């Protein structure tokens, strides 16, 4: 059994604590950027682990557990925390040392959790995090007194400052040197009753009175900011302004970088054209590999800017406020206030959005959010929208200076949001008529300045995930579409473009009868098939299909080529289709994993496909009637 001998050498340390206690910042400092982010098997709860070598030279592995208020586990996130702490997770040892992280600025609720964790009888250290902010506010904590009252060692730490964890590292070594108590049987654990919880909170309050002196004035910066940011009217206006700036940034700041990436891939394609002998292989490298991967990687800047905003707002402590402001408004549409953050993330990509729904306790509210999250306009739709708008919507100013193209883009986003709210309202009315609304209970943390380190680590992880996807799923789909569009080769005496003899043409013609009423030609039909892997692939596929058809290299001219081949009605129908179409296999996989139900995944797929067909049909037919056919 090598597994056991391996864990003998490498001690396992688990970080547990309330949300917002600075646990993840502490984890980042302890493990640096060597952390591994993955999912727990079977659920899309992120599992973060990283190595730590203690000052005494001991190899350890640190596990960051999702934040929780109690081991009673109400959401999937909290189930993971409970099971990891109790050593119930399949294939995982219980931790050798538990670091219970408590915010020194507001230790009251954290201390109650510490008492609950202490009852497990596992080796434990209490870490008073954010000790610098607490000192700054005049909160003094007598660590010796606290340690004596609790019966566990107590250390302070400042996760965000160099050297702020020296005391903690020394304490970890000391704790690991002592033989731990025998682990109790995890099956013995039972959830505490309300009475026990209350007794624990009273005990925590008693200990606090002994060990902590507070000046009795809460954080004045937070209070002053909240006077505006949580104001019923001003708060909502600020939230709108933040969202507006965010979308402006995604579309304008990213432009130079995107142009640079496009230029880079064009150069690479030209180099390949020079170096490779002309023929099938050269076409494969240029159109299939370089063109395909390039057409997807170009969206990296936009995705990173969107995530930059989301990470900054999260670090700042604003996201919980946004949920507070939106609770009633979202409630009108049958959604939970906490659904706001997942839906906002879905503008970047539905997958992190669907994963973020795990903070919602109630299964029904979670399901409703998951079902509508893919309707929010994700960044993978941007290439499709940009291409078609650029080709068919004239770039002229309307209403005194607003760009018509920008307005159409905004309209597409608005329809996405409106349909998400409309569908969730419908689900609530039809599927869950009888269940009363679930409660909304959320801690609003003090504001703190976002830390460069944690934001950049978060961005780096997002970039890695995106590039891995571009390099694997998307690249392989591009190879498939290139193959289908190039094989079989046309006969020697061919009179038509080569692609008309390919498998792709046959598939496209097969789909034509179904999609003709919505105005799609067979080239679009072909592009929809690989678009199932990821929406942005449809653009690359159209490029491949039309470039192989015309024998020229696909590049920025794709738009003008389309403008000559499609009617305006077709273009508008394709836009309408893309608002709703469930064209992303990885999203469906995430929904399947997260809902743990094939039925709901199928339901999501069917209702979105139905909406897409109806919307495209209506758009096409109306446009033709108005003379745009």
Partner 1 sequence: MKPHSADPCCRLGDASPRFRGRIVAVVAGLSDSALGPEELERRLVEMGFVEGAAVELRHQGLFRGDPIAVQVDGTMVALRRREAHAILVSAGD
The residue among 277 and 436 lying less far from partner 1, judged by its C-beta, is 436
Residue placing its CB nearer to partner 1 in the complex, 286 or 336? 336
- Burial of residue 353, with CB atoms counted within 10 A of its CB: 0-12 exposed, 13-18 middle, 19 or more buried: buried
Burial class (CB in 10 A: 0-12, 13-18, 19+), 383: buried
The pair of structure tokens assigned to 240 is: 């709108």
Residue 141 Cβ, how far from partner 1 at the closest point, in Å? 13
69 near partner 1, rule: CB under 8 A: yes
Could you write out the three-class secondary structure of 220-241?
Answer: HHHHHHHHHHCCCCHHHHHHHH
Cα 412 to chain centroid distance, Å, stands at 21
From 39-47, 107-115, 380-388, 537-545, span contacting partner 1 (CB under 8 A):
107-115
- The C-alpha torsion from 200 through 202 and 203 to 204, rounded to 10°, is 90
438 sits near partner 1 (criterion: CB under 8 A): yes
CA dihedral 254, 256, 259, 264 (to 10 degrees): -110
Considering the complex, what minimum distance in angstroms separates the CB of residue 219 from partner 1? Answer: 9
Taking CB under 8 A as the criterion, the residue among 151, 277, 400, 436 binding partner 1 is 436
Determine the Cα–Cα distance for residues 463 and 472; give it in Å rounded to an integer.
14
- Show the tokens assigned to 404: 């018509």
Q: Evaluate whether 33 touches 40 at the Cβ level (below 8 Å).
A: no
**Sole binder of partner 1 in the list 7, 35, 201, 386 (CB under 8 A):** 201
89 vs 212, which CB is nearer to partner 1?
212
Which among 79-87, 231-239, 464-472, 549-557 is the span making contact with partner 1, rule CB under 8 A?
Answer: 231-239
Whole-angstrom distance, CA of residue 324 vs CA of residue 444: 9
Applying CB under 8 A, among 218, 264, 411, 629 the residue interacting with partner 1 is 218
The residues in 4-23 that bind partner 1, with binding defined as CB under 8 A, are: none
257: CB partners within 8 A, 6+ apart: 301
Residue 198 lies near partner 1 (rule: CB under 8 A): yes
The interface mask with partner 1, positions 135-174, x = CB under 8 A, is: ----------------------------------------
Under the binding rule (CB under 8 A), the answer on residue 118 touching partner 1 is no
Helix (H, G, I), strand (E, B) or coil at 103: strand
- CA within 13 Å, CB half, 193: 2
Q: How large is the C-alpha radius of gyration of the chain? A: 28
Question: Does residue number 243 form part of the binding site for partner 1 (CB under 8 A)?
Answer: no
Q: Binding of partner 1 at residue 128 (CB under 8 A)?
A: no
**440/605 with CB nearer partner 1:** 440
Interface positions, 327-366, toward partner 1 (CB under 8 A): 327-329, 337, 362
Tokens of 508: 């496209």
**Tokens of residue 577, six digits:** 């289709």
Q: Is 141 helix (H, G, I), strand (E, B) or coil?
A: strand
Task: Please select the residue that binds partner 1; options are 233, 430, 449, 492, rule is CB under 8 A.
Answer: 233
DSSP letter assigned to residue 93:
P
Identify which of 526, 504, 531 has the alpha carbon closest to the alpha carbon of residue 609.
531
Q: How far apart are CA 68 and CA 45, in angstroms?
A: 13
> Which C-beta is closer to partner 1: that of 16 or that of 415?
16
Examine residue 444 and tell whether it contacts partner 1 (CB under 8 A): yes
**Beta-bridge partners for 253:** none
Tell me the closest approach of the beta carbon of residue 64 to partner 1, in angstroms: 21
Indicate whether 132 belongs to the interface with partner 1 (CB under 8 A).
no
Closer to partner 1 by Cβ: residue 21 or 540 = 21
Which of 105/587 has CB closer to partner 1?
Answer: 105
Q: What are phi and psi of 353, to 5 degrees?
A: -65, -45
Nearest approach in angstroms of CB 563 to partner 1 is 46
Q: Which one of residues 214, 266, 512, 555 is an interface residue with partner 1 (CB under 8 A)?
A: 214
- Interface map 391-430 toward partner 1 (x if CB under 8 A): ----------------------------------------
**Binding track over 524-553 against partner 1, x by CB under 8 A:** ------------------------------
Q: Is 76 in the site for partner 1 (CB under 8 A)?
A: no
Binding of partner 1 at residue 72 (CB under 8 A)? yes
Rounded distance, CA 499 to CA 489, Å?
Answer: 8
Q: Which residues bind partner 1 (CB under 8 A)?
A: 69-70, 72, 74, 106, 108-109, 112, 192-194, 197-198, 201-202, 205, 214, 218, 222-223, 226, 230-233, 236, 320, 323-325, 327-329, 337, 362, 435-445
């Amino acid at each position: 059994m090598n597994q056991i001998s391996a864990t003998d050498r490498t001690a396992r340390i688990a970080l547990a604590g309330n949300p917002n206690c600075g646990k993840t910042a502490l984890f980042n400092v302890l493990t640096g950027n060597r952390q591994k982010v993955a999912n727990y098997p079977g659920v899309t709860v992120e599992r973060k682990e990283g190595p730590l070598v203690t000052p005494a030279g001991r190899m350890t592995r640190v596990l960051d557990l999702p934040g929780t208020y109690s081991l009673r586990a109400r959401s999937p996130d909290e189930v993971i925390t409970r099971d990891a702490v109790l050593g119930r997770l399949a294939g995982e040892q219980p931790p050798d040392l538990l670091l219970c992280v408590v915010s020194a600025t507001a230790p009251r609720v954290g201390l109650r959790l510490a008492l609950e964790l202490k009852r497990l009888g596992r080796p434990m250290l209490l870490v008073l995090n954010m000790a610098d902010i607490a000192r700054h506010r005049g909160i003094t904590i007598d660590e010796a007194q606290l340690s004596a009252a609790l019966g566990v060692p107590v250390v302070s730490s400042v996760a965000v400052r160099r050297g702020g964890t020296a005391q903690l590292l020394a304490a970890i070594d000391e704790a690991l040197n002592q033989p731990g108590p025998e682990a109790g049987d995890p099956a013995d654990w039972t959830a505490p009753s309300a009475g026990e919880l209350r007794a624990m909170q009273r005990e925590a309050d008693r200990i606090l009175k002994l060990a902590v002196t507070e000046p009795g004035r809460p954080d004045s910066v937070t209070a002053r900011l909240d006077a505006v940011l949580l104001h019923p009217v001003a708060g909502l206006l600020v939230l709108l302004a933040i969202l507006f700036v965010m979308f402006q940034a995604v579309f304008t700041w990213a432009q130079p970088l995107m142009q640079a990436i496009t230029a880079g891939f064009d150069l690479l394609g030209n180099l390949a054209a020079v170096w490779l002998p002309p023929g099938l292989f050269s076409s494969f490298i240029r159109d299939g590999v370089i063109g395909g991967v390039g057409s997807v990687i170009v969206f990296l800047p936009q995705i990173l800017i969107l995530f930059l905003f989301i990470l900054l707002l999260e670090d700042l402590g604003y996201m919980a406020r946004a949920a507070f402001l939106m609770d009633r408004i979202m409630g009108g549409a049958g959604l939970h206030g906490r659904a706001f953050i997942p839906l906002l993330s879905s503008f970047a990509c539905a997958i992190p959005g669907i994963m973020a729904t795990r903070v919602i306790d109630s299964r029904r509210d979670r399901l409703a959010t998951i079902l509508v999250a893919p309707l929010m306009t994700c960044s993978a739709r941007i290439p499709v929208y940009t291409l078609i708008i650029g080709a068919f919507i004239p770039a002229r100013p309307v209403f005194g200076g607003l760009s018509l193209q920008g307005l159409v883009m905004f309209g597409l986003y608005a329809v996405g949001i409106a349909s998400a709210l409309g569908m969730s309202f419908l689900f609530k009315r039809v599927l869950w008529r009888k269940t009363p609304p679930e409660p909304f209970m959320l801690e609003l943390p003090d504001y703190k300045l976002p830390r460069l380190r944690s934001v950049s680590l978060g961005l780096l992880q997002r970039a890695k995930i995106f590039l891995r996807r571009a390099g694997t799923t998307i690249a392989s789909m591009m190879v498939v579409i290139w193959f289908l569009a190039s094989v079989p080769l046309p006969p020697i005496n061919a009179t038509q473009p080569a692609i008309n003899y390919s498998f792709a043409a046959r598939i496209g013609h097969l789909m034509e009868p179904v999609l003709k009423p919505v105005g799609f030609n067979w080239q679009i039909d072909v592009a929809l098939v690989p678009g199932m892997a990821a929406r942005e692939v449809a653009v690359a596929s159209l490029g491949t299909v039309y470039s192989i058809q015309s024998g020229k290299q696909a590049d920025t001219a794709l738009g003008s080529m389309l403008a000559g081949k499609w009617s305006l009605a077709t273009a508008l129908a394709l836009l309408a289709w893309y608002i709703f179409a469930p064209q992303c296999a990885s999203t469906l996989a995430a929904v399947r994993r997260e809902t743990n139900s094939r039925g709901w995944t199928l339901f999501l797929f069917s209702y979105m496909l139905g909406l897409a067909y109806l919307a495209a049909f209506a758009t096409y037919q109306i446009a033709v009637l108005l003379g745009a056919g």
